[in-house]
Amino acid sequence: MIFRATRSATITAGSHETIAKRISPVILDRRNTLRYPPPYGAGITGNRPEPFTDTRQQIMTINPIVRYPDPRLAVPAQPVMVFDGALRELASDLLETMHAAPGIGITAPHIGVSLRVVVLDLDANDDGARTYVNPEIIWASPEMIMHREGSVSMPGVNDDITRHARVRISYQDVDGNLQAEESEGLRAVCHQHEIDQLNGVFWIQRLSRLKRERLIKRFEKMSRG
């Protein structure tokens, strides 16, 4: 999950076991790599106005987040095969959980549901939240960028990750219609980050072994208080 550590939230448990069964300024560094300075906050972040106020009448659930090193984060998610009300409910709950974290991106595995579903809501200036079902990267630019990343599954730590500057993905919407999208910058980073998670690749695996071990030690120390 891509997150912004600026608010706290009361998390109430919600179960999706039934659903899971039913639906399957840019800087150029010394290596000439484009480097985006980290946005406001920690991890891959956005600047959504706060507090978030949901005026929709639909009842949604804030789910607990699966925390590192839970082995479920390393399991590739299953493709969605059925597009129905249960899938739309899952997408709504993911959006609510993401906003409560608060964050700008989340996957179903982040709440313990092993399905290939991603929800992104980058900021108030974008065109709103989007749900991506069964997303796959079908093209990536040779140009690379660096971006500060993190996860609420591993709160309090983040680091720079190298990603493709632009990507094109194929996906389905919640009604099962095939779609395609090309993106750059933050959205491209988000796609790569979240699709990695759907493939069982937690973001720290993109770090060198030394950086990863240092980050894990720092996280473990923070977790012990």
The structural domains of the chain, ordered by start, are 2-224 (3.90.45.10)
186, 164 contact by CB (below 8 A): no
- How far is it, in rounded angstroms, from Cα 178 to Cα 106? 21
108, 195 contact by CB (below 8 A): no
Give the closest residue to 113 by CA, choosing from 152, 154, 81, 65. 65
- How far is it, in rounded angstroms, from Cα 92 to Cα 58? 9
Residues 6+ apart with CB under 8 A from 220: none
- Per-residue pLDDT reduced to its tens digit, 31-75: 434 443 333 333 454 444 333 334 344 556 899 999 999 999 999
pTM reported for the whole predicted model: 0.77
- How far is it, in rounded angstroms, from Cα 158 to Cα 178? 34
Q: Which two tokens stand for residue 53?
A: 């106020």
Residues catalogued as catalytic: 194
The predicted model gives 207-219 an average pLDDT of 97
The predicted model gives 145-167 an average pLDDT of 95
